[in-house]
Structure 1
Amino acid sequence: MRSMGKRILLIAGDFTEDYETMVPFQALRAVGHEVDAVCPDREAGETVKTAVHDFRGDQTYLEERGHDFALTATMADVDPADYDALVVPGGRAPEYLRTHEIVLETVRHFFEAEKPVATLCHGPQVLAAAGVLDGYELTSYPAVRPECEAAGCTWVDEVTTDGNLVTARDWSDNAEWIAQFLDVLGDRIEHEGAAASADD
């Protein structure tokens, strides 16, 4: 894999979805990106609680307590202009993160500058509140579909990239969602021996 080593901002909060927060945070760092995790009204070094959402055939997800996720920067001190891309995980955090003006202003910066943005599950609630979804095609957790459509987007039932925006339905889409986000970031995956086997 060749990585451009971009700076990425991840906005989380208490009961952010565990797999939708920790997996992209670790995966993006593993391929050479610098990722700062922030939360309004929390300082670098503090933690937010995560929640694990499981799908067991009920009408909605089952929620259980996850891990303590450490923040790496203080949101009040962060300048979005210093970052190349944004990640907004799902979970229950988006429903209150969208009430913080600093979060909405940060989201608007990435869309106005047409920088890559990745979100999934309930994360689009934050984008809808920021007023940046008009005209986009995206997906989300199905229960968030009405909010997305009310914000002016076209909702689809699959991992989707539309311009700078990469969206997924939930953590079960993580592999494809992260792969599409890496593509938008400009990363290229190279497999050793692929060319030789193709010639055989």
Structure 2
Amino acid sequence: MKILMITGDFVEDYENMVPFQALQAVGYQVDAVCPNKKAGDVIATAIHDFEGHQTYTEKPGHNFTLNADFSAASADDYDGLYLPGGRAPEYLRLDENVIGLIKAFADTNKPIASICHGPQLLSAANIITGKRISAYPACKPEIILAGAEYVSVEMDQAVTDGNLVTAPAWPAHPEFLKQFIALLNKA
């Protein structure tokens, strides 16, 4: 099975690296793409953490090498979609091609997993109306404005509603990936 991962500069390091590697480790082909970049290009990641402040801090993460071209990505070629969080979704949601690709996965009811700020992309694609969605708490207003029910769960939990799996942050990886893989296996 093939999974498309749409990522970008200043994606959350853990939410990019860990699922990319974990999904490969259990046998999936994962193609990581970014608009206006091609296979072999690098994106910068960021590490977001709480250190006693009212919001998270941001530090440079690893450089991540893309392994596929965004321009060649088609929902028809993939069994599922993964959207990591961090700061990348805030600019990726402005790209009409990204939004069109997300809608194509939703229109065919393929499994979509999105974590942290990744659900900003789901909101922008207008595919969450009436759905139960988790996300990083700062995304709650736009989840609600998009017509979804924001589900507040512990940072290590995830929510599945139909073909969507969402979670608030990287501590949810074990549960989040388990639920995503369960959807992929049903497809």
TM-score (norm 1): 0.89
Deviation at 1:136, TM superposition (A): 0.6
**In structure 2, what residue type is equivalent to 1:180?**
Q
Matched, 1:145 2:145: no
CA–CA distance in structure 2, aligned partners of residues 143 and 44 of structure 1: 32
Matched, 1:69 2:68: no
Residue in 2 that maps onto 1:107? 102
Name the structure 2 match of 1:24: 19
Gaps of 5+ in 1: 1-5, 188-200
1:131 CA drift (Å): 0.8
When Rg is computed on C-alpha atoms for both structures, the one with the higher figure is: 1
Q: Distance in 2 between matches of 1:53 and 1:123?
A: 14
1:105 aligns to what SS in structure 2? helix
Structure 2: runs of 5+ lacking an equivalent = none
Task: Tell me by how many angstroms 1:78 deviates.
Answer: 1.5
In structure 1, give the amino acid aligned to 2:175: E
| CA-to-aligned-CA distance 1:155-174 (integer Å, 9 cap, x gap) | 11121000110000011111
TM-score by length of 2: 0.95
Distance (whole Å) between structure 2 residues aligned to residue 174 and residue 60 of structure 1: 21
CA RMSD of aligned residues (A): 1.0
- Please, which of 60, 64, 74 is the counterpart of residue 79 of structure 1? 74
Distance in 1, Cα, partners of 2:55 & 2:161: 27
Correspondence 1:117 to 2:116: no
In 1, the alpha carbon distance for the partners of 2:182 and 2:54 equals 34
**In structure 2, which of residues 5, 8, 11 is the aligned counterpart of residue 10 of structure 1?**
5
Given the alignment of the two structures, is residue 39 of structure 1 paired with residue 12 of structure 2, yes or no?
Answer: no
Structure 1 match to 2:180: 181
CA distance in 1, matches of 2:59, 2:174: 22
> 1:166 maps to which residue?
165
SS in 2 for 1:53: strand
* Identity value in percent: 51
